[in-house]
Amino acid sequence: MIRPCFAWMLLFPMVLNMAACSHVSTPTFRDVRCEPPRVVAWAPLVGYSHRTVGFLKFGAPPHAAGAVDWLTRIYIEELMREGPFSTVKPIEARVSSGEDAIRLGRTEQCDLVLMPSVVSLIESSGAMPTELQVNVELVDVATSRLLIRIGQKAASEPGQDVDLVWNIIEGQRALRTQQLARILASQHARLLTSAAVAAPFLGGK
C-alpha cells in the first residue's frame, strides 16, 4: 500500500516542474500602442464619397527616404479597401507646398488630393522599440480648401525575456514599421469613411 504513494511522491516534483515550464513557455507579448489621431483641421466629407482622390507620395526626412514607396503603397491599399472614395489615383510625385499639390491634382483631374508626410520613423529588427509617426492632409482641389489634417502615431516594444535559470524564454519581437504602417493606414481610411457619414470621435492632444 505504501509503494504507490512513494512512487507518486517521486513523480510529483517532475510533474510540478513540467507544469511550471508549460506555464512560462509562451513568450511575453509585445506592447503595441496606436494613439488616437491628433486632429488639427476637420470638415465633414459628406458629398465627397463618389469623388476621385489623388494620393501623392509620402514626403520624408533623409533617414526615412527608403520607406516612401512601401508607405505610399500601404496607405493606398487601405484607402481603396476601407476608404469612402470611388477612385484612389496614385500620383508619382512629392510636393513641398499645398499650392503644388493642388496644381498636380488639377493636372491629374482629381477632385481631392492627399498629402502625406513622415514625421518620425524608428526601425529595428524587433529586439528594440519601433515607432512611426505621420501627418496627412486632404485638400479640395476646386476650392483649395484644407478639409482634413491629422497626425498619427504608433509604436511597439518587444516583450520582456523570462529568465528561468535553466532557460531563457524570449519575449515577442516588436512590430516592424511596415506593420505599424498597416495599422495607421487602416485607422486613416476608417477615419475618412466616418467623416463621410458622421462626425467622428476626435482623440489625441
Cross-strand pairs, 38: 151
- Identify whether 9 is part of a domain: no
Q: How long is the chain?
A: 205
Measured between alpha carbons, how far is residue 57 from residues 22, 73, 90, 124 in Å?
A: 48, 9, 8, 23
Cross-strand pairs, 157: 31
pLDDT band at 8 (very low <50, low <70, confident <90, very high): very low
- Identify whether 66 is part of a domain: yes
pTM to 2 decimals? 0.77
Is the pLDDT at 19 greater than 50? The verdict is no
Is the pLDDT at 4 greater than 70? The verdict is no
Residue pair 105/112 in contact by the 8 Å Cβ criterion: yes
Q: Mean pLDDT throughout 180-196? A: 93
Supply angle C-alpha 71, 192, 147, rounded to 5. Answer: 100
Residue numbers of the domain that contains 61:
28-197
Is the pLDDT at 198 greater than 90? The verdict is no
State the CATH number of the domain containing residue 39: 3.40.50.10610
- pLDDT in the model for residue 199: 52
Question: What SS3 state is found at 45?
Answer: coil
- Identify whether 143 is part of a domain: yes
Q: Range with the lowest mean pLDDT among 4-8, 162-166, 196-200? A: 4-8
Residue pair 76/182 in contact by the 8 Å Cβ criterion: no
Q: Which residues, including other chains, have CB under 8 Å from residue 130's CB and lie 6 or more apart?
A: 122, 123, 124, 155, 156, 174, 175, 176, 177, 180
Average pLDDT score over the chain: 79
Q: How many CB atoms lie within 10 A of CB 122?
A: 17
Task: Using DSSP bridges, classify how beta strands 87-91 and 52-56 pair: parallel, antiparallel or unpaired.
Answer: parallel
In sign, the C-alpha dihedral spanning 183, 185, 187, 189 is negative
- Identify whether 42 is part of a domain: yes
Segment 112-140, tens digit of pLDDT: 999 999 999 998 766 778 899 999 999 99
CA pair distance 169, 162, nearest whole angstrom: 5
Give the percent of the chain with pLDDT over 70: 72
Is the pLDDT at 205 greater than 80? The verdict is no
- pLDDT in the model for residue 32: 80
- Identify whether 23 is part of a domain: no
The tally of domains found in the chain comes to 1
- Identify whether 14 is part of a domain: no
Measure the N-to-C terminal CA separation of the chain; round to a whole number of Å: 72
- Identify whether 131 is part of a domain: yes
- Identify whether 33 is part of a domain: yes
